[in-house]
Amino acid sequence: MQCRCFRASWWMFVVAVTWQPLGAWAASPSAEQALKLMPVQSGVDYDRPSPEEAAKCTIQAKKLDGRVGWIVESPDGVILRKFVDTNNDNVVDQWSYYKDGLEVYRDIDTNFNGKPDQYRWFHTGGSRWAIDANEDGVIDSWKAISAEEVTAEVIAAIATHDADRFARLMLTPAELKTLGLGKARAESIAEKADKAVMGFKGMTARQKTVTRDTGWVQFSANRPGVVPAGTDQSTKDLRVYENVMAIVAEGSRHGQVQIGTLVQVGDVWRAIDMPVPVGDEQAAAATGFFFRTALARQHDSVTNGGDGSQSQKLLADLETLDRESAKADTPEEHRRVLDRRAELLEQIAAAAKNPEDRAMWIRQLADMIGAAVQSGTCPDGADRLKKLFEKLSKNDQDKTLASYVKFRQMTAAYVLSMQAPKADYSKIQSEWLKTLEQFVRDYPTAPDAAEAMLQLAISQEFSGQDDDARKWYGRIVQEFRDTPAAKKASGAQLRLDSVGKSISLDGKTPAGGSVSLDDYRGKVVLIQYWATWSNPSKADMATLKELLNKYGRSFTVLGVSLDNNLKDLNAYLADNPLPWQQIYEEGGLDSRPANSLGILTVPTMILVDPQGKVVNRNVAIADAESEIKKLVQ
């Protein structure tokens, strides 16, 4: 990571475009320039004004507790950024980012060499405090992290297959020695932690529940407990969470990952177990290291009879089935395992006394069958889901749960119809849209209604019915604020209405720098949303290179990669260098750069004039040169 400095004496400022000093201004840097700086760590939710809004923001030098600081504020006086020189050496060493007037994240340079070596999250951004000892932008260790945030980090590590990120969350041998545990327990924990770290890569390769598009939603666990000193020869109190689960989501599909036991070491919570994604090949089971007996009794309480025998038998059967499923080789064996798991999940749900537990098991059942239908291993899945829906719909208290099953039943039926021989795709698609509209009418407030509306909007846009698409996008934004669907819909609205208007687009480069559309004012810019898995996108690049050679003085290309894996992008660029900048941020089609303009597919190309205004929001490669030629002339 390159040095970034902000000198008080002559206002040298480093902008995010190149991370290199631009030199001295005759006057103070503008708020627009300051707002181009971005956090070193990705995934920070902070205020990002549009270019029009940024032009109205202000930046002022102020004394902050005896230190020099620069404050960027919105037109109505809400603070957006704060850059501080804490040691009065005329160089900024703290870069703070705000959301709704509250600081949510800070990059910190503690050794005053111009490179951040610590990262902190505040207020609604969380409570993490990370150390980056070698100043390469990658977190090396955690100084503070909550139990909830540990589970979110575990999900991110699984999604990106990042074994090092997972290892940073595990209890270390040095920390284990400070806990004061008895010898037997300490040795058992050390063995569990070692196996988890060693087996993480294999687990991520096998599991199917968490993909790169899966996001952390919620922490789930019983309340924390204290293992008192004297327990099993321990010498200190120990605060622990047992049976921790992380709730995850990908679009409208929810899932769970069993995290296991977390222990507190000072301001840091640590994992000791291998995470277990709960999906089509694994079911949740009671886990516990310190409270094993109590947890078994809690799981026993889900039985109607209360003696624990039914619950214990069902959970034991699930564990046995999981072991057997690993040996299933033929379609018939996989089908038998699926049938048996569905039967067990229904029985466990029926036995649950707690409504939340019952709903969890039923959602898991619906997700499992829905996934099996899409993989082609459960041809009667739609019928099974229909029966489950009909059963739930008889009880008004199950309306929300019924809507969850209904949406998956609809999707399963649609998938099966599309897979049928000699399928009439036009007719099937027409019926599918009617089904989605009926679902929205029947369950207007159900979480899946947002996904149904999004599919309707996408279909209308692709068929050229932009006004109808706008209506659906608008409903999503209005009725389902702060949901992933609303982010996509809001960006799609902006894109549909972008012709003749300026748009905002910025992000990180694959190398960790920053780039913005505003950097290219004065040139015609073609924005290409693409991915290495999209052959049409790659085919377009040959024409784009020709256009760049022909009109390069007045024209450029800005790529936005929607790859799910940075390694895939870097490998492609190493073999196929491109003569233009790339924006890349994690998330693929659901990444921030994709959602900012509601990008639905690749390739999508947007043409922008020298003044930064959109000329064509969906230019075809065949029309690109004629459009560019008009603007260049």
Q: Residue 591: inside a domain, yes or no?
A: yes
d(CA 4, CA 334): 56
Please tell me the predicted confidence (pLDDT) of residue 247: 86
CATH of the domain at 584: 3.40.30.10
pLDDT (average), residues 529-546: 95
How many CB atoms neighbour CB 187 within 10 A?
Answer: 12
Q: Is the pLDDT of residue 633 over 80?
A: no
Same domain, 82 and 172: no
Same domain, 58 and 162: no
CATH of the domain at 209: 3.10.450
pLDDT (average), residues 536-545: 95
Question: Would you state the structure tokens that stand for residue 320, as one six-digit string?
Answer: 């046995």
Per-residue pLDDT band for 288 (boundaries 50, 70, 90) equals low
Please tell me the predicted confidence (pLDDT) of residue 304: 41
Element (H, E) at 464: none
Please tell me the predicted confidence (pLDDT) of residue 252: 65
Least confident segment among 47-56, 331-340, 377-386, 574-583: 331-340
Please tell me the predicted confidence (pLDDT) of residue 358: 84
Per-residue pLDDT band for 259 (boundaries 50, 70, 90) equals very high
Domain end (from 255, 287, 319): 287
DSSP characters over 14-34: B-TTTSSB----SSPPPHHHH
Least confident segment among 13-17, 177-181, 288-292, 314-318: 13-17
d(CA 139, CA 297): 40
Q: Indicate the DSSP class of residue 396.
A: G
Please tell me the predicted confidence (pLDDT) of residue 242: 87
CA atoms within 13 A on the CB side of 191: 7
Q: Residue 240: inside a domain, yes or no?
A: yes
Same domain, 138 and 153: no
Give 396's contacts (C-beta < 8 A, 6+ positions apart).
none
Same domain, 283 and 207: yes
- Total domains in the chain come to 3
Closest CA to 503 of 608, 577, 364: 608
Contact 167, 154 (CB under 8 A): no
Q: Residue 78: inside a domain, yes or no?
A: yes
Look over the chain and give the mean of its residue pLDDT values, rounded to a whole number.
86
pTM higher than 0.85, yes or no?
A: no
Please tell me the predicted confidence (pLDDT) of residue 28: 62
pLDDT (average), residues 549-578: 93
pLDDT (average), residues 511-539: 94
Per-residue pLDDT band for 284 (boundaries 50, 70, 90) equals very low
Q: Residue 255: inside a domain, yes or no?
A: yes
Q: Indicate the DSSP class of residue 374.
A: H
Same domain, 173 and 64: no
Same domain, 282 and 161: yes
Q: Residue 87: inside a domain, yes or no?
A: yes
Domain end (from 272, 287, 302): 287
d(CA 620, CA 628): 12
pLDDT (average), residues 295-308: 44
Element (H, E) at 515: strand 514-516
Same domain, 157 and 134: no
Q: Residue 124: inside a domain, yes or no?
A: yes
Range of the domain at 55: 31-143
Closest CA to 275 of 160, 179, 170: 170
Same domain, 166 and 232: yes
Domain end (from 287, 321, 348): 287
Q: Residue 6: inside a domain, yes or no?
A: no
Q: Is the pLDDT of residue 345 over 90?
A: no
CA atoms within 13 A on the CB side of 54: 20
Same domain, 151 and 280: yes
Q: Is the pLDDT of residue 274 over 50?
A: yes
pLDDT above 70 as % of the chain: 89
Per-residue pLDDT band for 341 (boundaries 50, 70, 90) equals confident
Per-residue pLDDT band for 209 (boundaries 50, 70, 90) equals confident
Please tell me the predicted confidence (pLDDT) of residue 6: 37
Q: Is the pLDDT of residue 295 over 70?
A: no
Closest CA to 158 of 319, 43, 68, 276: 276
Q: Residue 393: inside a domain, yes or no?
A: no
Please tell me the predicted confidence (pLDDT) of residue 320: 72
pLDDT (average), residues 408-427: 91
Per-residue pLDDT band for 325 (boundaries 50, 70, 90) equals low
The burial class, CB within 10 Å (0-12 / 13-18 / 19+), for 183 is exposed
Q: Is the pLDDT of residue 309 over 70?
A: no
Same domain, 170 and 184: yes
Q: pLDDT by residue (tens digit) across 453-485?
A: 999 999 999 999 999 999 999 999 999 988 889
The angle subtended at Cα 478 by Cα 475 and Cα 483, nearest 5°, is: 95
pLDDT above 90 as % of the chain: 55
Same domain, 112 and 245: no
Q: Is the pLDDT of residue 4 over 50?
A: no
Question: Would you state the structure tokens that stand for residue 615, as one six-digit string?
Answer: 């000329």
Give 256's contacts (C-beta < 8 A, 6+ positions apart).
209, 220, 245, 246, 247, 248, 277, 278, 284, 360, 364
Same domain, 190 and 269: yes
Q: Is the pLDDT of residue 110 over 70?
A: yes
Please tell me the predicted confidence (pLDDT) of residue 263: 95
Higher pLDDT: 279 or 501? It is 501
7 bridge partner residues: 12, 91
Question: Would you state the structure tokens that stand for residue 406, as one six-digit string?
Answer: 């209904």
Per-residue pLDDT band for 303 (boundaries 50, 70, 90) equals very low
